[in-house]
Amino acid sequence: MAGKTNGAANGGGQTPVLECRKLCISYFTRAGEIPAVVDFNMTLMPGEAQGIVGESGCGKSTVALAIMQYLGSNGKIVSGEIFFEGRDMRTMSEEELRDLRGSQIAMVYQEPMASLNPAMRIGDQLSEVPIFHEGASPEEAMERARKMIASVRLPEPNRILNSYPHQISGGQQQRVVIAMALLSNPKLLLLDEPTTALDVTVEAGIVDLINEIAAEFGTSMIYISHNLGLILETCHRITVMYSGEAVEVGTVNDVFDAMRHPYTRGLFASIPLPGADKNSHPLIAIPGQLPLPHERPTGCYFAPRCDFFVAGTCDTGLLPMREVPGDDQHFTRCVRFDELDWQESLGKGISQDVTPPGDVVLRVDDMTKHYEIEEGALFFAGEKKTVKANEKISFVAHEAETVAIVGESGCGKSTFAKVLMGLEDATSGEVLLGNLELGDLPVDKRNPETISKLQMIFQNPFDTLNPSHSIGGQIGRVIRKFGVESDDEKVEDRVMELLDIVKLPRDFAKRRPRQLSGGQKQRVGIARAFAGNPAVVIADEPVSALDVSVQAAVTELLMDIQRENRTTLLFISHDLSVVRYLADRIIVMYLGQIMEQGTTDEIFAPPYHPYTEALLSAVPIADTHVKKRHIVLTGEIPSASNPPKGCPFSTRCAYMIEGTCDVTPPPVRDISAGHQIACHLSVETLDAMEPVIQLGAAAAPEPDVETV
Amino acid sequence: MAVTTITPPAPSLLERLKTPRNIGILVALAWMPLMIYVMGTGRIDEGVRNAILLPAIPAVAMLYVIAVTAWKESWIAVLGVSLVSFWFFMAVAAPFLPLADPNAPVAPFATPFSEKKDIFFWLGTDFKGRDMLSRVIWGCQRVLVWGVTATFVAYIIGTIFGLMAGYLSGWWDEFISFFGNVLLSFPVMVLFIVILNYLGPSGFNIVIAVTFASAPAIMRIVRGLALDIKTRDYVFAAQTRGESALWIMVIELLPNVRGPIIVDACLRLGYTTVAITTLTFLGLGLQPPDPDWGLMIREAAKVAMLWKFSYMLLIPALAVSSLILGFNLMADGLREMSLRD
């Protein structure tokens, strides 16, 4: 976090590293000019880190590309200026720009695999930078690459330099990309969602690295993200963008604690912060949808979705940024900011009574799933390897209960869903739905009633619906298939009913999926899962691909339908903030095994499993009042085909007991009824753990760096 | 955007024709008569044969208008569809055009734009004295009918096997892909010649030969697409609601492989036209005396060695080229449009 301290040195006659003045960027397409960014201003001082937050389509990546002067053939800066160290970038020649890019200004993209050349060794790719920009000799360049690899905390620099990109993990790839960006000692580093494609614990490591870099090299940074929590952890100032406009600019503390734009406020109300709770403090979604660029209203672009809209005031011409008096360069694009009462709470949403859970619906007992793979054999029987995708999973789920399964990639949650849905057989153990054993009953042997009892909501909204069939047809097929209705008219009625339930207009039944937005598609996916009145619904990260403001609406919808139908929800996720918000019970998985399970309160309070502790610390929280203990895991998630011998987490665990953890599988300890931790540590050690997240601490967001 | 409610005008005839169902009917109206006409040669009474073709003429014209309005953003596609539609129109309208009998010898060796025996010949006559213009126009019928039929059959077979190999995987895939690879390892022309030598030259046997030669390649395309699409969540959703493999292949996969397949089909129509013309040229395809482009080239091959009479070869060759060019331009245009959005 040291990066945050040296940057606030504004003023003092320094030349800003980057200055954007009234920048307007448009794309020119067949449909005409599409304004992507309107009136964008930014002043970035040396050593400062600024964040740009916004939902998809708000123009944040366009700003980054404009700064690189790399807009592509159809994008153009229509008006405004970009100064890099006092020089106008718009007047630079292509030659000058090439010199600048990659040496003075460097960029880190979202997909690390796509940023590296798969056909070149990492060492060669890295040494290209000094060779090209500074004319260094190959030996000298390689030496500098080796140093840089070490300073981005990669183990065994020589091995990394000699590997190809596919031979190292995603987190390591992103570190290489950052190393490449830093090699030429840039003045400005642009980070476009650098951790979105990574797992949370790996993400925490990268965020840490970025902060260390800022402290060590004094690089100015622009951090683009949709995640407010990450911005809080990395930046001094923040720009909130909406539909191509910056709507609010200010220091992180001002914007987080005293926001002065209704959109920013709506954004914070729709993300699950530690205080939110599905029953007493439900999320409040921003109504409506992001307007398309050519359908933006005159005046305030947020007006159609704003509670404080006043005709005649908010819809007159382009609104200017106005300074909020008393704060440190805090600007907002709301004309009515000084009239509104910002202390008044946003309404509490409709609080709900706690739904009491019913009988046991689903019981999983020692369920194990192994895959046998043969290695490298074409003609001879190769060495057989066992991938332990799921190892002795046991838990119960009650009626009307939400059970969350939390874990990072490779933890076996998808395999578990496949076994449950009958696409794979369990190797051993039992899966009981009611009294029916499902573990070795493939889906084509199940009767329609059983199938309809167990349905699934998928992660990717763009994949969940068949693009070739109408919405109504796809929901109708499920209704027929499950034998809910068979008469044409009744099927149609039921389709309409389901569309009403998921709050979509009835004429959507005739539409094709491509005419729907991501959130709407996900609603259809929910309608489809609930078409056959299921007893258990498996939701595989149903909101993780959606924008923040849409996420809240879909989450609330899912909760409402669940409450109504007393459905058991198995919620698979990697996002602990969402899980904390909606789950009754949580199961933490790592490499196919359950590390800890218990009620939500038990998981979020000590005693923790060491992995849960690290996971809790890794999740960025967008609240300046939250005090977090800082735990960063080293190393990478081991491969499921070659798991550690003893405890799967032993390779990354800070508490690892040599000779025990790495040899013997951990015992499952019952801490209290229903709360189980699989760990070698004694109950006393576990009890002695301090809470990771503490609410209501002082406003200073500076968490203590603790080495465990 | 100003919000004014204007009651939409009643949809024009063109709009109403543009529904998939109506386009299907039009295609059937244009295609079936021509197919019956060509395949029923000598089996159906001449008067009835001609009458059958009548509804096809307006159907082809309407399809052309629909295609041009739908594809107006790509001039390449419009040019392609114009060329193809021209030959289709000629094929269905041939009996009703004021043309000389294509098989009647009138005046041999009349050069284009010349008069002989008080008759003006636009494109001249061939060595037997038959009118070239009439022969070129009549000659497109058989190439079109057999080319399109053969490609269509190859597509049905190739798609079925491709879906099976891609979706069912495992041993199905191994077996189908192996068989396909064996067929693909033959040079296409050798395969054609072997099959037609064995089965004897006829239109139906051309269909079989083309199917054997084209279906493996089509199978590979469809297999690749199916392998990609079967990992999508909607296929997973169908599996988890207990749909049969057949249902998933036909309803979930097939409509989503259609885009790339249509583009490829246009290209392949071109190849098939070349193949049929070549086969006829070699004497393995359609048989004389009825006019056919490949046959015309074959018959003219010797005489056309003389520069003066090269038109006998050039005219049918240009006709074939223009049709193939039309198919290829259509494919390019369709691909261009599919990439745009």
A4 pLDDT band, cuts 50/70/90, is: very low
Distance between first and last Cα of chain B: 23
Mark yes or no for CB contact B233/A463 under 8 Å: yes
pLDDT of residue B336: 82
Q: Which residue of A has its CA nearest to B238?
A: A478
The DSSP line for B27-88 is HHHHHHHHHHHHHTTTTS-HHHHHHHHTTHHHHHHHHHHHHHHHTTT-HHHHHHHHHHHHHH
Q: Residue B39 above 60 pLDDT?
A: yes
Contact of B1 with chain A, judged by CB distance below 8 Å, is answered with: yes
How far from A496 is each of A456, A470, A473, A508, A663, CA to CA, in Å? 20, 13, 11, 9, 58
pLDDT of residue A3: 39
Residues B34 and B19: beta-carbon distance below 8 Å: no
Reported as a single tens digit per residue, the pLDDT across A334-392 is 888 888 877 766 555 667 777 788 888 899 988 998 888 766 545 555 567 788 888 88
The two three-digit tokens of residue A340, written as one number: 């509104």
Give the list of residues 6+ apart from residue A410 with CB closer than 8 angstroms, or none. Answer: A591, A637, A639, A640
Residues of B in contact with A469 (CB under 8 A): 251, 255
| Chain A to chain B Cβ contacts (< 8 Å) | 54
B221 pLDDT band, cuts 50/70/90, is: very high
pLDDT of residue A475: 92
Choose the weakest-confidence range: A126-135, B26-35, B71-80, B277-286. B277-286
Mark yes or no for CB contact B241/A478 under 8 Å: yes
Residues B334 and B148: beta-carbon distance below 8 Å: no
Beta bridge partners of A537: A455, A569
Mark yes or no for CB contact A468/B240 under 8 Å: no
Residue range A212-224: average pLDDT? Answer: 87
Reported as a single tens digit per residue, the pLDDT across A423-476 is 888 888 888 888 888 888 888 888 888 888 889 998 888 889 998 899 999 999
Give the list of residues 6+ apart from residue B246 with CB closer than 8 angstroms, or none. Answer: none
At A537, give phi and psi (nearest 5°).
-120, 130
pLDDT of residue A605: 85
Percent of chain A predicted with pLDDT > 70: 94
Reported as a single tens digit per residue, the pLDDT across A497-509 is 899 888 888 888 8
Contact of A415 with chain B, judged by CB distance below 8 Å, is answered with: no
The two three-digit tokens of residue B245, written as one number: 């493999």
Q: Residue A701 above 70 pLDDT?
A: no
User: What integer best gives the mean pLDDT of chain B?
Assistant: 85
pLDDT of residue A700: 41
Residues A457 and A526: beta-carbon distance below 8 Å: yes
Reported as a single tens digit per residue, the pLDDT across A675-688 is 999 988 888 888 88
How far from B269 is each of A120, A180, A286, B144, B323, CA to CA, in Å? 42, 50, 53, 9, 10
Q: CA-to-CA distance for B329 and B341, rounded, in angstroms?
A: 19
Q: Which residue of A has its CA nearest to B253?
A: A466
Q: Of A544, A530, A523, nearest to A272 (Cα)?
A: A544
Q: Residue A7 above 70 pLDDT?
A: no
Residue range B52-74: average pLDDT? Answer: 88
B158 pLDDT band, cuts 50/70/90, is: very high
Residue range B204-223: average pLDDT? Answer: 92
Q: Of B243, B259, B241, nearest to A458 (Cα)?
A: B241
Instruction: Give the gyration radius of chain B's Cα atoms.
Output: 23
Among B234, B236, B242, select the one facing A448 at the smallest CB separation.
B242
A2 pLDDT band, cuts 50/70/90, is: very low
The CA angle A83-A87-A88, to the nearest 5 degrees, is 60
Q: Residue A235 above 70 pLDDT?
A: yes
Q: CA-to-CA distance for A666 and A645, rounded, in angstroms?
A: 11
Place of tokens 């912060």: A273
Q: Residue A673 above 90 pLDDT?
A: no
Mark yes or no for CB contact A463/B232 under 8 Å: yes
For chain A, the 3-state helix, strand and coil shares in percent, each to the nearest 5, are: 30, 25, 45
At B174, give phi and psi (nearest 5°).
-55, -50
Distance from B243 to chain A by nearest Cα, in Å? 8
Contact of B336 with chain A, judged by CB distance below 8 Å, is answered with: no
Q: CA-to-CA distance for A137 and A139, rounded, in angstroms?
A: 6
Q: Residue B5 above 70 pLDDT?
A: no
Percent of chain B predicted with pLDDT > 90: 28
Residues A594 and A588: beta-carbon distance below 8 Å: yes
Mark yes or no for CB contact A464/B240 under 8 Å: no
Q: CA-to-CA distance for B161 and B222, rounded, in angstroms?
A: 8
Q: Of A427, A422, A426, A437, nearest to A362 (Cα)?
A: A437
Contact of B240 with chain A, judged by CB distance below 8 Å, is answered with: yes
Single pTM value for the model: 0.82
Percent of chain A predicted with pLDDT > 90: 15
The two three-digit tokens of residue A254, written as one number: 């001002």
How far from A25 is each of A39, A208, A319, A474, B27, CA to CA, in Å? 9, 33, 17, 40, 47
Contact of A96 with chain B, judged by CB distance below 8 Å, is answered with: no
Contact of A423 with chain B, judged by CB distance below 8 Å, is answered with: yes
What domains lie within chain B, and their CATH numbers? 99-340 (1.10.3720.10)
pLDDT of residue A699: 42
Contact of B340 with chain A, judged by CB distance below 8 Å, is answered with: yes
The DSSP line for A588-629 is EEETTEEEEEEEHHHHHSSS--HHHHHHHHHS----TT-EE-
Mark yes or no for CB contact B243/A30 under 8 Å: no
Q: Which residue of A has its CA nearest to B244?
A: A444
Residues A543 and A526: beta-carbon distance below 8 Å: no
Contact of B255 with chain A, judged by CB distance below 8 Å, is answered with: yes
The SS3 assignment for A585 reads strand
B301 pLDDT band, cuts 50/70/90, is: confident
Reported as a single tens digit per residue, the pLDDT across A34-56 is 888 988 999 999 889 999 998 88
Residue range A568-593: average pLDDT? Answer: 89
pLDDT of residue B12: 74
Contact of B252 with chain A, judged by CB distance below 8 Å, is answered with: yes
pLDDT of residue B11: 67
Q: CA-to-CA distance for A411 and A643, rounded, in angstroms?
A: 11
Contact of B256 with chain A, judged by CB distance below 8 Å, is answered with: yes
A707 pLDDT band, cuts 50/70/90, is: very low
Distance from A359 to chain B by nearest Cα, in Å? 25
Checking phi first, is residue A16 left (phi over 0); if not, alpha (psi -120 to 50) or beta? beta
pLDDT of residue A381: 56
Mark yes or no for CB contact A446/B242 under 8 Å: yes
* Residue B9 identity (one-letter amino acid): P
pLDDT of residue B249: 93
Strands (E), A193-330: 220-225, 237-242, 245-251, 322-323
Strands (E), B154-300: none
Reported as a single tens digit per residue, the pLDDT across A522-574 is 999 999 998 888 999 999 888 888 888 788 888 888 888 888 889 999 999 88
pLDDT of residue A14: 78
A8 pLDDT band, cuts 50/70/90, is: very low
Choose the weakest-confidence range: A670-674, B162-166, B315-319. A670-674
